[in-house]
Amino acid sequence: MTSEVITNAIVYSDTGRIELRVAISDTEARVEVYNEGQEWARGPQLQPSGLDDVGGWGLFLVERLSDRWGMDLGETLVWFELDRPAQRA
């Protein structure tokens, strides 16, 4: 999922500059990807136009596989979270 979000950031970045942030706690892992892109302001799409399309499935997969995800178009930031399994004592 991280590579899908990074690929989107690279494709839509005007400057080629992106930032990756990863935070891991006892209960979850959170990944944030920020890019400097004007085209991103209209919002990424969750699915390509057709099932036979080769690309465009990244955010669709993130939506299906993550526990939570979202985007902040004002900052051109996409994030997702994965819950970590509880540790047995």
| pLDDT value for 42 | 55
pLDDT tens-digit map of 28-52: 999 999 987 665 555 555 555 566 6
| pLDDT value for 43 | 55
pLDDT tens-digit map of 5-31: 898 888 877 777 889 999 999 999 999
Examine the pLDDT at 3 and tell me if it is beyond 70. yes
Taking alpha carbons only, the member of 67, 68, 12, 2 closest to residue 32 is 2
| pLDDT value for 11 | 80
For residue 67 the two structure tokens come to 């526990």
Class of the 2-83 domain?
Answer: alpha beta
Domain positions in the chain: 2-83
Span 62-83, average pLDDT? 89
Taking alpha carbons only, the member of 77, 79, 71 closest to residue 1 is 79
Within 10 angstroms of residue 86's Cβ, the number of other Cβ atoms is 8
Rounded CA separation 65/49 (Å): 20
For residue 52 the two structure tokens come to 């036979």
| pLDDT value for 19 | 92
Contact between 63 and 46 under an 8 Å Cβ cutoff? The reply is yes
